[in-house]
Amino acid sequence: MRLEWKKASVGRRNFLRGATALGAASMLPMGWASRAMAQEDGVLRIRSYGDLSTMDPAHSVGVVDENIHASVYNKLIQYKPGTEWGWQMDAAAMIEQADATHINFALRDDIGFTNGHGAMTAEDVKFSFERIIADATESPNKPDMGPLSHVEVTGEREGTIVLNDPFAPLWTIALPYITGNIVSKAATEAAGGRIGTDPVAESGPYLRASWAAKEKTVLKRNPDWKGDAPVWDTIEILPIDDENTAEIAFDAGELDLTRVSLGSVERYRGGVPNGGALIENPSLYYVWLGMNLDHPKLQNIKLRQAIQHAIDVPSILQAAYFSAAAPSTGIIAPGLIGHRPSELVAPAADFAKAAELLAESGETNVSLTLDVLNKTEFTTTAQIIQATLAQIGITVEINLLESGAFWSSGENENLQLVLNRFSMAPDPSYATAWFTTEQAGIWNWERFRNEEFDMLHKAASAESDNAKRDEMYRRAQDLMEESGAYRFITHEATPVVHSSRVAPALRPDGLPLLRYFGKA
Amino acid sequence: MTDIIADTSKSRSELAIIIAGVARDPLGLIGLIIVGSIVFSAIFASWIVPYDPIAMNIPDRMQGPSGTHLLGTDQLGRDTFSRVIAGGQVALKVALPAIFGAMTIGLTLGMIAGYGPKWLDNFLMLLFDTIRSFPTVMFALAVVALVGTSLQTVVFVVMATSIPTYGRVARTQTLTLRNSEFILAERAMGASMARILGVHMLPNIIGVLAVLAAMDIPTVIALEAGLSFLGLGVKPPTPSWGVLLKDGYALIRQTPWLVVGGGLPIILATLGFTFLGEILRDVVDPKLRKNR
């Protein structure tokens, strides 16, 4: 065969015309196809900031796994969607606090496990809870179970949770969150006691149909589910780490729901594409500036108080959080027991007072380092702190750290100032736990040691009277602030956008409860 | 004295020939203009910038380009144009000492490896290969973890990771020259190793390394920007093109001007130094010059 090469009659204009037509032809159908896919009735597409790491609740690494676990497993109780924290029955037909250390429960009789593992029994509850606290399991979530002793099985579907000590967070964290997921004893034991990235048996309103790492997790309606039927036939969870990318996908109609960056809130307030809506939820996270009380440069309480008064929180919220977050009064967010209505040091800087305190301290030529995680909101915040402290004559050098180095700062005895942000579960004990004396140098980077605080933390966890708990946690935060080691900044916010065809079911902090999602 | 004057005038005329040769080529001229502008703005940054590059003005944050702020403002209300100019100063403060240091050390070690005994050559090659086997960013992470972030740390990281490149080129050139007749003649006349390397070999190697250095500068500038992007570079509030890019990336849906401000000078510097290096190579290499 002979090939003959001829000069193509493609001029510049023809080439441009052809290229434009080709581009348009290739892009338009793709756009239509993907939109049609996103709008396919019965398929809910949501974004998760991370990918599934395990189907084992004992080794769950947090919200990302829990989104899926909460859909394919059941708990005795689940969080209730809405704006106020609360719980509702799930696998439990009855649950009651018999006394301070005993909780009786009875399971529904219509919940079964897949793969032929039979009905859910009290033995499954016992197995699921006790394997979390068993040393052999090495569960990182063991602390969430607090002083759990064991579960007594009193009938096929009845049992009693027995605690060593009273533990109020059982109702707010242990049972309705990660550790509350009930797995099948038979299936887990048959799998050698460990569940990997594939479920061994499911029981929830959804089943995990497929998982493509870093691509997509697909949940399909469980045909054997006897409870309230979930509204969506299929849920596709797409792991998208970057919020800018997720926003572009949402705006293009590829997603039905995503968390958006605080910087985009103003834009979405002006209108959400495709008739969608913006929901602005407060978050439970807490951000603060900490001062290492063990460092020789920070021994003077007047100096620490001067720093507290010189930091202008409104400027930080405007520049780093785009005015989409409110100032915090402590480590416990609004809506939780123990939230303080106001702080001891007002959010706005008082430079006159700060200068006065600095003069009283007798410290001159103060130069400090400020360690921050290398993320734009933190570096922006750090630069504002640097600028505002400079106004009273304190020089701050900012150390940017990558996450590995930053999160080992507990061991850094030379740490001086640190800008920090902790995640939080919906119980105040989860916040105070990190600032006790025994946490000094571990997660308590300020090395704050206060006997009264330790006592309050312990007593409040065991207290069942919410009014008393509230008072205790408020006092605990007063003690933190009085030490001069903390300048509370914000709890951030969780802005979420959703498409017009979705009726989202969110926790009060904006995190999704997928099984309760409805259609608009 | 007469000799010195004669030498100086000779080297001046050679430099003039090289500059004229570069300027004759359109790409070379573009390169010269871009590089000249970057160097000029870096040297005279404090006179050129309309605002203090680190002065915050939060109420004026995230503005677009205007007559007041040519490239708009960042999230802290700082003038982006002023930060771009000041960022150029940082880029050159890293690139020039790092390249000069790497070239000097690499040249010395490379010549010793090429001219010295075999065992020394093997040892130095092993050293170069060991250094080259470290990914730059991982190496930077380790150094930063040990000594913290600073301009000096960036210079050290860039210099340390660039030495093997210069060393290998210098060694190859030395190996090529070591059996040349003029070197053999010098050796027969009893010239010392220092004299042979310093007086006879160095002038024949330095040109190649100078071209390599010119073409390495954009790489180093991009590396500095990359390290700053990752937070391993200069400390805030020091402006750097990488920091501008990083902030710009995070805020790209709010204002695209930070990405433009950080990206454009990196593109221009890369183009400028590359054009200049390419044409410089053609001008200083007699073989290539003949083929032009």
Closest by Cβ to B253, choosing from A264, A374, A382: A264
Say if residue B18's pLDDT is above 80.
Answer: no
* Residue B9 falls inside a structural domain: no
Other Cβ atoms closer than 10 A to A514: 23
Domain positions in chain A: 47-259+497-519, 286-491
Q: Scanning every residue of chain B, which has its alpha carbon at the shortest distance from the alpha carbon of A322?
A: B75
Say if residue B1's pLDDT is above 50.
Answer: no
Q: Scanning every residue of chain B, which has its alpha carbon at the shortest distance from the alpha carbon of A405?
A: B145
Fold of A286-491: Dipeptide-binding Protein; domain 3 (3.10.105)
pLDDT digits (tens, 9 = 90+) for A270-294: 999 989 999 999 899 999 999 999 9
B139–chain A nearest CA distance, Å: 14
DSSP string, A300-319: -HHHHHHHHHH--HHHHHHH
Say if residue B225's pLDDT is above 50.
Answer: yes
The helix (H) or strand (E) run that includes residue A243 is: helix A243-251
End-to-end CA separation in angstroms for chain A: 64
Contact A399 B254 (CB under 8 A): no
So what's the pLDDT on residue A209?
96
Contact A261 B253 (CB under 8 A): yes
- Residue pair A57/A181 in contact (Cβ under 8 Å)? The answer is yes
Residue range B47-52: mean pLDDT, rounded: 94
Closest by Cβ to A400, choosing from B58, B75, B235: B235
So what's the pLDDT on residue A3?
47
So what's the pLDDT on residue A13?
45
User: How far from the centroid of its chain's Cα atoms is residue B290's Cα?
Assistant: 28
> What is the spatial distance between Cα A333 and Cα A330, in angstroms, rounded to a whole number?
7
β partners of residue A498: A257, A277
Say if residue A18's pLDDT is above 80.
Answer: no
So what's the pLDDT on residue A36?
44
- DSSP-assigned letter for residue A233: S
* Residue B80 falls inside a structural domain: yes
- Residue pair B149/A400 in contact (Cβ under 8 Å)? The answer is yes
So what's the pLDDT on residue A227?
92
- The total number of structural domains that make up chain B: 1
Residue range A435-445: mean pLDDT, rounded: 93
Lowest-confidence range among A427-436, B64-73, B282-291? B282-291
Say if residue A23's pLDDT is above 80.
Answer: no
So what's the pLDDT on residue A29?
43
β partners of residue A494: A281
Considering only CB atoms, which chain A residues are within 8 Å of B77? 319
Considering only CB atoms, which chain B residues are within 8 Å of A375? 250
Long-range contacts for A124-129 (Cβ within 8 Å, ≥24 apart)? A124/A182, A124/A183, A124/A184, A124/A185, A125/A76, A125/A151, A125/A159, A125/A182, A126/A150, A126/A151, A126/A152, A126/A153, A126/A159, A126/A185, A127/A183, A127/A185, A127/A188, A128/A57, A128/A181, A128/A182, A128/A183, A128/A185, A129/A161, A129/A179
Say if residue A8's pLDDT is above 60.
Answer: no
Say if residue A33's pLDDT is above 60.
Answer: no
Residue range A348-360: mean pLDDT, rounded: 97
Q: Is B143 on the interface with A (CB under 8 A)?
A: no
So what's the pLDDT on residue B220?
86
So what's the pLDDT on residue B10?
53
Domain range for B260: 53-273
> What is the spatial distance between Cα A214 and Cα A240, in angstroms, rounded to a whole number?
8
Contact A384 B56 (CB under 8 A): yes
Considering only CB atoms, which chain A residues are within 8 Å of B247? 376, 379-380
Mean of the per-residue pLDDT values for chain B? 86
At which residue do the structure tokens 């030490």 appear? A483
Before A230, cis peptide (omega within 30)?
no
Lowest-confidence range among A503-507, B175-179, B207-211? B207-211
So what's the pLDDT on residue A10?
53
Considering only CB atoms, which chain B residues are within 8 Å of A263? 250-251, 253-254
Closest by Cβ to B149, choosing from A244, A263, A399: A399
A383–chain B nearest CA distance, Å: 7
Contact B253 A244 (CB under 8 A): yes
Residue range B171-198: mean pLDDT, rounded: 87
Lowest-confidence range among A99-103, A206-210, A391-395, B93-97? B93-97
Contact B76 A383 (CB under 8 A): yes
Q: pTM, whole model, 2 decimals? A: 0.81
Say if residue A6's pLDDT is above 80.
Answer: no
Q: Scanning every residue of chain B, which has its alpha carbon at the shortest distance from the alpha carbon of A242?
A: B250
* Residue B10 falls inside a structural domain: no
Closest by Cβ to A247, choosing from B148, B232, B253: B253
Residues belonging to chain A with any Cβ–Cβ distance to chain B shorter than 8 Å: 244, 247, 261, 263-264, 267, 315, 318-320, 322, 374-376, 379-380, 382-384, 386-387, 397-402, 405
Considering only CB atoms, which chain B residues are within 8 Å of A400? 149, 231-232, 235-236
Q: Is B236 on the interface with A (CB under 8 A)?
A: yes
- Chain A interface, best mutation among B75, B230, B247, by max A CB count within 10 A: B75
Q: Scanning every residue of chain A, which has its alpha carbon at the shortest distance from the alpha carbon of B247?
A: A376
ipTM of the complex: 0.78
Structure tokens at B69: 């702020």
The CATH number linked to B203 is 1.10.3720.10
> What is the spatial distance between Cα A168 and Cα A463, in angstroms, rounded to a whole number?
6
* Residue B90 falls inside a structural domain: yes
Contact B253 A386 (CB under 8 A): no
Contact B231 A374 (CB under 8 A): yes
Q: Scanning every residue of chain A, which has its alpha carbon at the shortest distance from the alpha carbon of B141?
A: A402
So what's the pLDDT on residue A22?
57
So what's the pLDDT on residue A39?
56
Contact B250 A376 (CB under 8 A): yes
> What is the spatial distance between Cα A471 and Cα A488, in angstroms, rounded to a whole number?
19
Considering only CB atoms, which chain B residues are within 8 Å of A402? 141, 144, 230-232
Please give the sequence-ordered ranges of beta strands (E in DSSP) within A364-504, or none if there are none: 367-373, 395-401, 417-422, 486-490, 493-498, 502-503
Instruction: Tell me how long chain A is.
Output: 520
Contact A319 B250 (CB under 8 A): no
Q: In terms of pLDDT, which residue wins out, A413 or A472?
A: A472
Say if residue A313's pLDDT is above 90.
Answer: yes
Mean of the per-residue pLDDT values for chain A? 91
* Residue B227 falls inside a structural domain: yes
So what's the pLDDT on residue A21?
53
Say if residue A16's pLDDT is above 80.
Answer: no
Q: Scanning every residue of chain B, which has its alpha carbon at the shortest distance from the alpha carbon of A245?
A: B253
Considering only CB atoms, which chain A residues are within 8 Å of B56? 319, 383-384, 387
Residue range B251-274: mean pLDDT, rounded: 90
> What is the spatial distance between Cα A322 and Cα A441, in angstroms, rounded to a whole number?
33
So what's the pLDDT on residue B137?
81
Structure tokens at A429: 């004990």
Contact A386 B237 (CB under 8 A): yes
* Residue B166 falls inside a structural domain: yes
Contact B236 A247 (CB under 8 A): no
Residue range B157-161: mean pLDDT, rounded: 90
| Main-chain dihedrals φ then ψ at residue A220, nearest 5 degrees | -120, 150
Q: How many CB pairs under 8 A join A and B?
A: 71
Q: In terms of pLDDT, which residue wins out, A73 or A411?
A: A73
pLDDT digits (tens, 9 = 90+) for A91-142: 999 999 999 999 999 999 999 999 999 999 999 999 999 999 999 999 999 9
User: A47-259+497-519 domain in CATH 2.60.40.10?
Assistant: no
> What is the spatial distance between Cα A352 and Cα B134, in angstroms, rounded to a whole number?
52
> What is the spatial distance between Cα A47 and Cα A93, in angstroms, rounded to a whole number?
33
So what's the pLDDT on residue B3?
45
* Residue B224 falls inside a structural domain: yes
So what's the pLDDT on residue B6?
44
Residue range A485-495: mean pLDDT, rounded: 96
At which residue do the structure tokens 């220092």 appear? B194
Closest by Cβ to B75, choosing from A267, A319, A374: A319
Q: Scanning every residue of chain A, which has its alpha carbon at the shortest distance from the alpha carbon of B147?
A: A399
Closest by Cβ to B247, choosing from A376, A387, A401: A376
Burial of A312 per CB tally in 10 Å (0-12, 13-18, 19+): buried
- Residue pair A318/B58 in contact (Cβ under 8 Å)? The answer is yes
So what's the pLDDT on residue B11?
53
- pLDDT over 70 percentage in chain A: 92
* Residue B219 falls inside a structural domain: yes
- Residue pair A319/A383 in contact (Cβ under 8 Å)? The answer is no
Residue range B132-136: mean pLDDT, rounded: 84
- pLDDT over 90 percentage in chain A: 84
Residue range A189-216: mean pLDDT, rounded: 95
Structure tokens at B155: 């210079």
